[in-house]
Amino acid sequence: MNTTQSLPTSTPAPRLDSTSFQKLLDFLNRLDNAKISYRLSHFREETVAVELAIPGERWEVEFFADGSIEIERFRSSGSVSADESLLTELIANYV
């Protein structure tokens, strides 16, 4: 009896060209120089995302293998609530 199992094959990831990688490195160096903390994430097969939060804003910047960039900026309205029941509402709206 043959018990050998084959692993599922995946499609090869898109090639990252050197200019794409350099754009990412340049941006990270700019953030480092400005002392802005960030987190690297990987949501899509062909991108590396940089997530960061500064007072009143949150940014998601995705660097694509082909050299393109997508930027999303979320701005706070400035309103603040001390009503703890809002936590339940926020989670309920998400689920």
pLDDT, tens digit (0-9, with 9 covering 90-100), for 14-63:
665 678 899 999 999 999 999 999 999 999 999 999 999 999 999 999 99
Helices first, then strands: H and E counts in the chain: 2, 4
Residue 35's pLDDT is what?
97
Residue 16's pLDDT is what?
59
* Structural domains in the chain, sorted by start: 18-76 (3.10.450)
pLDDT, tens digit (0-9, with 9 covering 90-100), for 60-85:
999 999 999 999 999 999 999 999 99
For the chain, list the strands marked E by DSSP: 39-41, 47-54, 57-64, 69-75
Place of tokens 């590396």: 48
What pTM was computed for the model? 0.72
